[in-house]
């Protein structure tokens, strides 16, 4: 019987040398990577790749879809990772294993706008970067009583203080995007979409689409009624909210200068006004904005 995979205490590989989640091996992924959420968006953007060079495509059993080809004769990968920070962690760490050169990674996602003047159907470039908000499960534990079982069960030191002073949401400080790569994204997106449809602003990545994005759901005790106001007070330049960019920027910072990263998002909804983008505008932005993102990546001189 063969083991399931090898090297469990480092970055494990399958026995065909592919990484466990991307399902790729060396040579199948470029050093310039555009990452998106859904496979449909990746496929749409991959249509801009040069027809004159072969295009490698692969969907892994863990749900990562990769297209690797060339654009203007420079190698580039477009990779759909699904949603959330753990998926971004798989991408950045496994890509780092598979490519020997420095990596350039940009994300083109969708987001909600956090102020009324950020229109649906526009694009926000995460500049200077992204903060993060996470639901704090400790805050939802039962309050300990002076005597009795619940106090015995909860160790206030191990869990970070008495439950009544634990905030239900934790906000993490900004992780900065690469300023030069960010400028390249802004330039290409403005050129392609018109400068009135592209702006910069601080992003916030949430651990959930629901609780930590301030959505109401009576089935759950979320204590998030004032969360968006608290976030805007703490970071007045907040423009966009999604679920992945913070992780990308934080890992680039942790990469011992071997990954440069930046991010942009299509505004599909405006939370203060309740406006939602129409399907045709979203499809246009995915295609045209995606092409601008690829152009910025391949023209970037590192």
Is position 242 an interface residue for ligand R1P (rule: CB under 6 A)? Answer: yes
- Binding mask 31-50 toward ligand R1P (x if CB under 6 A, else -) reads -----xxx------------
By CB under 6 A, name the one of 104, 243, 267, 277 that touches ligand R1P: 243
* Nearest residue relative to ligand R1P (C-beta): 37
Cα separation, 248 vs 9, whole angstroms: 23
Q: What letter would DSSP give residue 288?
A: I
Nearer to ligand R1P, 23 or 289 (CB): 289
Residue 21 near residue 11 (C-beta atoms within 8 A) = no
Q: Given the rule CB under 6 A, which of 30-38, 157-165, 171-179, 246-254 is the region that contacts ligand R1P?
A: 30-38
Q: Minimal distance in Å, beta carbon 163 to ligand R1P?
A: 30
Smallest gap from residue 82 Cβ to ligand R1P (A)? 7
Could you give the C-alpha distances from 149 to 139, 159, 160, 216, in angstroms and in order?
18, 17, 19, 32
Report the half-sphere exposure of 262 (CA within 13 A, side-chain side). Answer: 23
Q: What gap in Å lies between CA 198 and CA 265, rounded to an integer?
A: 10
Count the residues in the chain.
302
Minimum separation from the CB atom of position 41 to ligand R1P (A) = 7
Can residue 209 be called a binding residue for ligand R1P (CB under 6 A)? yes
| Rg (alpha carbons) of the chain, rounded to whole number | 21
Q: Which stretch binds ligand R1P (CB under 6 A): 53-61, 146-154, 155-163, 241-249?
A: 241-249
Provide the strand spans (E) within the chain: 32-36, 56-59, 65-71, 74-80, 103-113, 123-135, 169-176, 198-206, 238-242, 259-270
Shortest reach from residue 148's CB to ligand R1P, in Å: 42
Shortest distance (Å) from residue 141 CB to ligand R1P? 28
Contacts to ligand R1P by CB under 6 A: 36-38, 83, 109-110, 209, 242-244
């Amino acid at each position: 019987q063969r083991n399931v995979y090898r090297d469990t205490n480092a970055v494990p590989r399958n026995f065909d040398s592919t990484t466990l989640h991307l399902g790729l091996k060396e040579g199948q992924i470029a050093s310039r990577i555009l990452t998106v959420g859904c496979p449909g968006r990746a496929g749409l953007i991959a249509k801009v790749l040069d027809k004159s060079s072969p295009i490698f495509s692969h969907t892994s059993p863990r749900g990562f879809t990769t297209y690797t080809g060339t654009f203007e004769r420079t190698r580039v990968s477009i990779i759909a990772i699904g949603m959330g920070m753990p998926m971004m962690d798989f991408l950045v760490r496994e890509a780092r294993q598979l490519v020997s050169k420095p990596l350039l990674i940009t994300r083109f996602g969708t987001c909600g706008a956090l102020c009324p003047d950020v229109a649906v159907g526009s694009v926000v470039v995460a500049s200077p970067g992204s903060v993060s908000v996470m639901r704090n499960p400790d805050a939802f534990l039962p309050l300990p009583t002076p005597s009795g079982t619940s106090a015995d069960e909860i160790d206030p030191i191990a869990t970070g203080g008495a439950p009544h002073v634990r905030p239900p949401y934790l906000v993490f400080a900004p992780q900065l995007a690469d300023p030069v790569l960010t400028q390249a994204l802004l330039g290409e997106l403005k050129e392609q979409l018109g400068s009135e449809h592209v702006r910069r602003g601080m992003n916030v990545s949430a651990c959930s689409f629901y609780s930590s994005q301030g959505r109401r759901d009576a089935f759950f005790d979320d204590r998030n009624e004032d969360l968006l106001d608290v976030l805007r007070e703490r970071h007045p330049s907040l423009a966009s909210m999604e679920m992945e960019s913070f992780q990308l920027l934080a890992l680039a910072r942790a990469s011992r200068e071997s990954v440069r990263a930046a991010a942009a998002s299509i505004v599909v909804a405006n939370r203060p006004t309740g406006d939602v983008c129409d399907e045709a505008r979203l499809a246009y932005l995915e295609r045209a904005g995606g092409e601008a993102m690829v152009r910025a990546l391949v023209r970037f001189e590192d």
